[in-house]
């Protein structure tokens, strides 16, 4: 994978009145529609909202976090303001930093969503932090936070510690919720790129989320983005049908896709030309007519269909190899 594949960064442009549909992955919207259509899902949402409420959620997530502002991490505060300006977003969701050694961030909350960044993220370079902030802001703009909050709580607390959900068969909800969550991450990865407007910085973020940030005492050590992008392509392309099954099993209860998958997916979006169109100002504005759900379902069917076709093709190849090996074994020498 040559570095020339990635678009060269240009001066950042303000994406005036950009609508979230500009970056939302079709499988994100389709998976959310399927999630909302599950019988009883609305009742689960109401029970969670009724039990915790806005105040309870803020206490749960912010008991050990520091709010960012002009005098509290002012450089991060200024960077956040720059990201808000890039997306032309009129409100400023509160931003917090919590002391955690694992690299992660989240946008959560119901009526007044807020963003929480783990302190490990502060080791990233400036434009990599910009990517993270843009990604999390996109969750807010896209209206994801109610569902992401519920997903995080189910993972953190577990159904057994949520007595008000006793008697509810949560497994179908959890699987559907996490499937949507992973696709929502793909959407907001695109927004991360729109925030940096630098493909190298955004891809480098995936690399560091996957493999960590080299320590100061590791000056002779290096990480290489091009090698990581090759690895991302190999992860998706290699393997047979059983590997495809294992990939599904490995991700079934994850809230995030693997970072190699995220990098490959973002590369595809760039290659599709959508990113360049947005940079030219060709994007939907807020308040304009949204895409019909039928279009989303059709696009998502194409996305999922391609995954299925790939798996079936791999399965066919595996069966053909098995058949040939079987025939060779019983054909005997010289036949």
| Token pair recorded at residue 59 | 């206490």
The pTM of this model reads 0.80
pLDDT given at position 135: 98
User: What do you get for the CA distance between the two ends of the chain, in Å?
Assistant: 44
Instruction: State residue 218's pLDDT score.
Output: 60
CA gap 171, 180 in Å, rounded: 14
3-state secondary structure of 109: coil
Q: Which of 32, 12, 11 has the alpha carbon at shortest distance from 21?
A: 32
Angle at 296 between CA 242 and CA 130, to 5 degrees: 80
Residue 46: enclosing H or E segment and its boundaries?
helix 41-62
Helix axes 26-36, 41-62, angle to 10 degrees: 110
The C-alpha atoms of residue 322 and residue 335 are separated, in whole angstroms, by 19
Mean pLDDT by 10 residues, the chain (335 residues): 55 93 90 84 83 86 93 97 97 96 93 95 96 98 92 73 64 82 94 97 94 70 86 67 44 68 92 96 86 51 44 40 45 49
Nearest residue to 228 via CA among 263, 202, 256: 263
Phi, psi of 221 (to 5 degrees): -95, 155
């Amino acid at each position: 994978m040559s570095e020339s594949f990635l678009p060269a960064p240009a001066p950042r442009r303000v994406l005036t009145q950009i609508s979230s549909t500009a970056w939302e992955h079709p499988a994100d919207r389709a998976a959310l529609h399927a999630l909302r259509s599950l019988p009883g899902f609305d009742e689960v949402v109401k029970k969670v909202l009724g039990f915790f409420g806005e105040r309870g959620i803020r206490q749960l997530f912010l008991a050990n976090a520091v709010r960012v502002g002009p005098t509290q991490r002012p450089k991060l505060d200024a960077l956040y303001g720059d990201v808000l300006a890039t997306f032309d977003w009129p409100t400023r969701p509160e931003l917090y930093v919590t002391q955690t050694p694992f690299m992660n961030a989240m946008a959560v909350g119901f009526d007044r969503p807020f963003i929480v960044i783990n302190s490990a993220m502060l080791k990233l370079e400036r434009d990599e932090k910009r990517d993270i902030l843009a990604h999390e802001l996109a969750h807010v703009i896209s209206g994801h936070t109610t569902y992401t909050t519920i997903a995080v709580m189910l993972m953190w607390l577990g159904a057994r510690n949520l007595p008000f959900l006793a008697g509810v068969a949560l497994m179908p909800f959890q699987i559907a919720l996490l499937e949507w969550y992973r696709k929502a991450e793909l959407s907001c990865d695109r927004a991360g790129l729109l925030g940096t407007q630098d493909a190298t910085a955004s891809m480098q973020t995936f690399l560091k989320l996957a493999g960590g940030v080299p320590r100061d005492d590791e000056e002779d050590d290096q990480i290489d983005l091009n090698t990581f992008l090759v690895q991302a392509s190999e992860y998706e392309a290699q393997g047979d049908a059983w590997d495809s099954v294992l990939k599904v099993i490995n991700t079934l209860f994850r809230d995030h896709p693997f970072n190699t998958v995220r990098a490959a997916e973002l590369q595809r979006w760039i290659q599709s030309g959508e990113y360049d169109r947005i940079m030219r100002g060709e994007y939907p504005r807020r308040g304009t007519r949204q895409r019909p759900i039928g279009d989303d379902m059709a696009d998502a069917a194409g996305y999922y269909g391609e995954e299925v076709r790939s798996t079936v093709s791999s399965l066919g190849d595996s069966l053909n190899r098995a058949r040939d090996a079987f025939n060779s074994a019983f054909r005997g020498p010289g036949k």
